[in-house]
Structure formats: C-alpha cells, structure tokens
C-alpha cells in the first residue's frame, strides 16, 4: 500500500476544490441561468467544468509522486465523517470525468442553443452529474460512495427524460432507473454487511480486508454489472438514447457506465480478490463483449448502434480488471480512458449528424462527407480508434489487453476480444459508409445541410485529437496517470510502453513483435489507400454480385447489413433477456393491481371488521410470546 502523503482538514484542502467548484457552478446556474441567454448558460457550465478540470490537474504532481491525500471536513452523523481519500485511481476517474465533462459542455453550447425550454435544468443536472462522479471516486466512506452512486443514477434519470413530454423518453428513463437502482441494492447490502463485521464505513480501514468475503464481492459485482452494462443487466442502455446527445456522450463515456468499473477496481484496494469472483467477472466480460457487438450489427439507428458498442467495449475494460494482474489492471484502466475519448467523440459526431439532417436513421442518411467534412474526419478518427486501428488509443488499449490475457494464461479472452474487434470494424464500416459516403437518401438530396457550429466542432475535435495523440505517444498517459493508479491498487508497475504502444518491457514478446509488424503493415496500407484516394475518379460502375440479385436501388445499404447479421446470428438474438424482465414486470404489476382492488373493495368498505381482526391477531401474537 502507498503511504499517506498528508492529512488535511476542512474544505480548504485542494482535493475538495473540484467538487466545490462543480456544485457551486450548478448553484450559480440555477440562480442566474434564467437571466442568461441559452449560450450564456452553456458558457457558464463549460467554464465551471473547465475550472474543475484545472483543479484536478493541480493534483497531478502529488499523484505522480505517489501521494495519497486523506482530507476530512465534518461528521455528518455520529461516526460517519465526510472524508476524501484521493489516490492514483481516484485521480484517473476525476481527470476523465472533469475533462470529458468540459469538452461535452463546450459542445453543448451550440447543440442546446436552439432548445425551446429546460436548458437551465439541463446544465444544472450535467454539472451535478459530473460532481457526483467526483464524490463517488474520492469518498473514503462506503456510505458516502453509495449516496454518490445513487446521485448519479438520479441525475441520469432526469437527463435521459429531459424531453419528458415524449413518452419514449419517459419510458427509457424509467427503465434506466429501475434496472440500475434495483441492482444497486447489491452494493448497499455489501456495505451493510461490511459495517456489521467491522463497525466502520471506511474502505481504507485495515479491518475491511478480513471482512471482504466472496459473498460481498459478488454483491458488489451485481451492482457494477448494472451500472457498467454487463450482460444480462445491459438492456437499459439502448433505451437511454432518447436523450440529448451531450447526455448520451457523458453517460456513455465518463460519468455513468464508468461507475461500475471504478467499483470493481476499488475492490482491489480493500483486499485481494477471491478467485471465484475474478473468474466469474471474466466470463461475464467475454459474453458481454460478444453480445454487445452482435446486437450492434443489427442496428439501423446510429445512436442505438453506438449504445450496443458501449456494452461491448465495457466488456473489454472489465476483462482487463478481472485478470487481476498488474498488466491486466493497466490494460483495463488505459482502455477505460481510451473508451471515454473515442466513444464520447462518436456520440458527439452522431449528434452533429442528427442536428444537421433531423434524423439518425442510417437508412435516411448518406453523402454527408461533402457537406460535413470536419464531422466526417473526426468520426473517422474515433471509428478507427474503437476498431483498434494503429496510431489510435484503441490500438494500444487492445494490444495491452491481448498481452495481459496471454501473460495470465487466458488465451480464450484473446480469441473472443479479437473476434469482437473484427465485428466492431465491420459494424463501423457499415455505419461510416451509410452515413457519410453512400448515395444520399432521397430526403437529403435537396436539403440544405451545414457543418456543426464552432463550439460543437471544437468540443468533438479535442477528444478526437487526443485519440491520436495518446495512440502515437501512449507514454504521455501511461507514466503520469495510469502508473500511479495501478500502484494505488497494490500492484507493481512493470510496463515500459514506447511509441505507438509497443511494450518494450513486456514478457509476451510475441504480442509485442506482432503489434510492431501490424503497425508497419497498417502504415503501408494507409499510404496505399491515400494514394488511391487521390487518383481521379472513373466512371460509375455497378456492383458485382456474381449473379445474385441486388436489393431495390442497385446498392447495399444499412438494412441489408442488418438483415444479414440477423439471419447469420439468429440464435444470439434469442439471448435478449428483455422478454423475461418484461414478463416479471407484468406479473408484479398485475399482482399490485389485484392487491389494490382487494384493498379498495374489502379493507375500505369494512374498516371496523378489519380493525378488530388486526387487534385480535396482535393480541394472539403477544400472548403466544
């Protein structure tokens, strides 16, 4: 364990500044936002998040030197102090939440500028959402962490239902709240068990280690599965797509689905994992990877496609954490930050497309590369990153995970992850062509389509650029950010990452050499593709099909890809657990209605008889005791 660096008292401690700034900004937004223009409201929220991000960065020098800052402010109940424990792991999540939050709020200035109502509510909730994540990852008390866990759940409910007058948005928000909140009782139960055994809520108390049993681990895993969309508790996430795009971006990239990954990683700080818990989570992660990408292949809605890819990508992250090795933890955390960058960027690009065209239906898009060149370029970078193309963060993250799995003697993880990567690339090929390069849909041929406003382009441009920066020079992220986080969990840092993610200090030399050869091959292929793109276009040609008939319109579109996936992978689509959940929900609803009818017809009409019956039962109970 890393020794504590210092003990601070009161809110003057720098570790409290990001939280104080975010919640103060939310208060100012609520008080003065109605007097500002929509853009003014957006700038206030963005500046707040940007200042909070700077406050997080101010903690970097201490984090690099391995300092663990414990700061206490007040006891909000007997024996339950409000204490922060900020170490390397906390810093990674704070940096990701505040950084992505600032970029997304910058994007929101242009996106929400024409919104008719509710913009103050939107910005207040976004700032509280980010602040809730900061409290969650910094809390030394498990009880405080649980309150923050539920706070971000409540914020997600209100944000997903932002357009609450639309029934589909309200229904989606309810589904998000029900699934994640019910599973969250697993975390609450685990906390109460630990308190009963130790008499403390402090996870950094040494007594916690002895009380951390397999049952407690499994309860926490259930809560993390729902938050981080692990199969079969993942079905809420596509229903959350009926929210404003900045909400989807923040929810998917930084502040919501990453709550579960934090919980899983933090458990290593409490005690070494029991092997049963790690193997179970590894199995669930591999199944989640595959299920997510298969369901993504069948989507024709751009945001739902991205939502199912979130499911798949969270499987990669959880697999790295479940391996339980120093390289596995590093791979999981690096993948988590990479996912925040490329998935946030993809959602922001999809929002630009929807705002420009009025639709996110891949069947009604096409030809946008000419009208929206900046959005197209940023989308291509992020799509390359999620597919694992060299020179991007996604490539480094995937090779780290492959190396970690081989080192841990888990070749099945490599096979599953590689197959899922191939399907991911195929899925984004479909989405990219259908949106930007296919022939425009009839409704777009005469439409006036314009590029996104400057704030939107800058917001998604920053995150897209970082996908390349940390792909070419991953050591910029590895050494100052990921290494302290790995050490804070009790693991040694034994990784020497060079340019392009080549692991010069890794024992799995085959993976390292393979990665280097793949980089060279990809570079040569890229040069050839670039020269081919510069060649003059010839006359249009028909699609060669080998004699098979083409669909109407003499082309292949998103529907054809989706239908092919549905036919080829039909057994997998039968694994959707939603019908079971709906059956249980209907039974609960019908039972409640029957109880209500009985209460109305029986209890209310005969109050005297019911009172006498209850009194007799109570008397009998007391007498028998």
CA distance 290 to 304: 16
What is the reported pLDDT for 9?
47
CB atoms inside a 10 Å sphere around CB 425: 17
Residue 499 lies in a domain: no
Q: What are 96-119's pLDDT values in tens digits?
A: 999 999 999 999 999 999 888 899
Residue 93 lies in a domain: no
Residue 548 lies in a domain: no
Residue 587 lies in a domain: yes
Q: What are 383-441's pLDDT values in tens digits?
A: 999 999 999 999 999 999 999 999 999 999 999 999 999 999 999 998 998 899 888 88
Residue 252 lies in a domain: no
* Percent of the residues in the chain that have a pLDDT greater than 90, as a whole number: 59
* Percent of the residues in the chain that have a pLDDT greater than 70, as a whole number: 86
Burial 314-332 (b: 16+ CB within 10 A, else e): bbbbbbbbbbbbbbbbbbb
Higher pLDDT among residues 163 and 446, named by residue: 163
CA distance 90 to 135: 10
CB atoms inside a 10 Å sphere around CB 335: 26
Which tokens hold the place of 395? 């490539």
The kind and range of the H/E element at 424 are helix 411-432
Residue 467 lies in a domain: no
Helical spans, DSSP H, in 489-624:
509-534, 558-568, 570-573, 578-598, 607-624
Looking at every residue in the chain, the average pLDDT score rounds to 86
- The verdict on pTM exceeding 0.75 is yes
pLDDT for residue 5 is more than 50: no
Q: What are 290-299's pLDDT values in tens digits?
A: 999 999 998 9
Which tokens hold the place of 8? 């601070």
Higher pLDDT among residues 75 and 383, named by residue: 383
CA distance 172 to 494: 44
- Dihedral, 143, 149, 150, 156 alpha carbons, nearest 10: 170
What is the reported pLDDT for 488?
92
Range of the domain at 603: 578-624
Which tokens hold the place of 463? 């995150």
Residue 592 lies in a domain: yes
What is the reported pLDDT for 157?
94
Sign of CA dihedral 457, 40, 104, 298: negative
Q: Which of 82-96, 238-252, 461-475, 496-510 has the lowest mean pLDDT?
A: 496-510
Q: Which long-range contacts (CB under 8 A, 24 or more apart) does 64-69 make?
A: 64/480, 64/484, 65/5, 66/2, 66/5, 66/484, 66/487, 67/2, 67/4, 67/5, 67/6, 68/2, 68/3, 68/4, 68/5, 68/488, 69/4, 69/5, 69/6, 69/8, 69/13, 69/14, 69/15
pLDDT for residue 514 is more than 60: no
Domains: count for the chain: 1
Residue 263 lies in a domain: no
Q: Residue for token digits 């003059």?
A: 536
Helical spans, DSSP H, in 271-325:
275-297, 302-323
* Rounded alpha-carbon distances, angstroms, from residue 285 to 228, 255, 513: 10, 20, 27
CA distance 251 to 244: 11
């Amino acid at each position: 364990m890393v020794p504590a660096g210092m003990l601070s008292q009161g809110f003057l401690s720098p570790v409290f500044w990001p939280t104080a700034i975010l919640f103060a900004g939310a208060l100012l937004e609520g008080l003065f936002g109605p007097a500002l223009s929509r853009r003014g409201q957006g700038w206030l929220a963005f500046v707040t998040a940007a200042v909070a991000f700077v406050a997080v960065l101010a903690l970097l020098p201490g984090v690099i030197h391995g300092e663990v800052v414990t700061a206490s402010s007040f006891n909000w109940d007997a024996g339950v102090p409000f204490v922060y424990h900020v170490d390397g792991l906390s810093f990674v999540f704070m940096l990701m939440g505040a950084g992505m939050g600032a970029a997304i709020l910058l994007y929101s200035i242009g996106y929400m500028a024409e919104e008719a109502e509710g913009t103050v509510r939107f910005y207040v909730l976004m700032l509280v959402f980010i602040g809730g994540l900061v409290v969650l990852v910094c809390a030394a008390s498990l009880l405080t962490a649980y309150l923050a866990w539920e706070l971000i759940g409540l914020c997600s409910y209100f944000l997903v239902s932002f357009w609450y007058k639309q029934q589909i948005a309200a229904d989606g928000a309810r589904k998000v709240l029900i699934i994640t909140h019910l599973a969250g009782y697993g975390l609450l139960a685990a906390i109460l068990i630990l308190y009963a055994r130790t008499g403390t809520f402090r996870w950094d108390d040494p007594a916690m280690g002895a009380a951390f049993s397999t049952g407690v681990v499994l309860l926490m895993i259930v809560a993390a599965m729902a938050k981080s969309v692990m199969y079969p508790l993942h079905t809420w996430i596509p229903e959350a797509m009926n929210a404003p795009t900045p909400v989807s971006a923040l929810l998917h990239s930084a502040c919501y689905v990453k709550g579960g990954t934090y919980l899983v990683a933090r458990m290593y700080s409490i005690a070494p994992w029991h092997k049963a818990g790690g193997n179970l989570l590894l199995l669930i992660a591999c199944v989640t990877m595959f299920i997510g990408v298969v369901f993504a292949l069948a989507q024709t809605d751009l945001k739902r496609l991205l939502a199912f890819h979130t499911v798949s990508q969270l499987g990669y992250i959880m697999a790295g954490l479940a391996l339980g090795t120093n390289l596995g933890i590093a791979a999981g955390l690096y993948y988590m930050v990479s996912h925040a960058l490329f998935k946030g960027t993809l959602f922001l690009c999809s929002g630009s497309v929807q705002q420009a065209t009025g639709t996110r239906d891949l069947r009604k898009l096409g030809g946008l590369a000419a009208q929206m060149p900046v959005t197209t370029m940023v989308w291509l970078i992020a799509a390359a990153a999620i597919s694992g193309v060299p020179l991007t963060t996604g490539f480094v993250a995937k090779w780290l995970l492959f190396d970690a799995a081989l080192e841990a003697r888990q070749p099945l993880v490599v096979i599953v992850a590689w197959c899922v990567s191939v399907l991911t690339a195929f899925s984004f090929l479909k989405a990219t062509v259908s949106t930007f390069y296919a022939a425009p849909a009839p409704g777009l041929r005469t439409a006036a389509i314009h590029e996104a406003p400057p704030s939107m382009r800058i917001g998604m441009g920053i995150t897209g650029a970082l996908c390349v920066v940390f792909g070419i020079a991953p050591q910029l992220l590895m050494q100052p950010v990921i290494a302290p986080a790995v050490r804070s969990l009790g693991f040694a840092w034994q990784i020497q990452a060079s340019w392009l993610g080549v692991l010069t200090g890794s024992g799995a030399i085959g993976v390292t050499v393979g990665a280097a050869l793949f980089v060279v091959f990809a570079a040569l292929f890229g040069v050839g593709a670039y020269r081919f793109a510069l060649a003059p276009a010839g006359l249009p040609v028909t699609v060669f099909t080998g004699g098979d008939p083409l669909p109407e319109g003499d082309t292949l579109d998103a529907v054809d890809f989706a239908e092919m996936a549905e036919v080829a992978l039909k057994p997998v689509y039968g694994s959707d657990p939603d019908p079971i959940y709906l059956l249980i929900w209907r039974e609960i609803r019908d039972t409640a209605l029957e109880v209500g009818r009985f209460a109305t017809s029986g209890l209310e009409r005969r109050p005297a008889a019911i009172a006498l019956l209850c009194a007799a039962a109570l008397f009998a109970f007391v007498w028998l005791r």
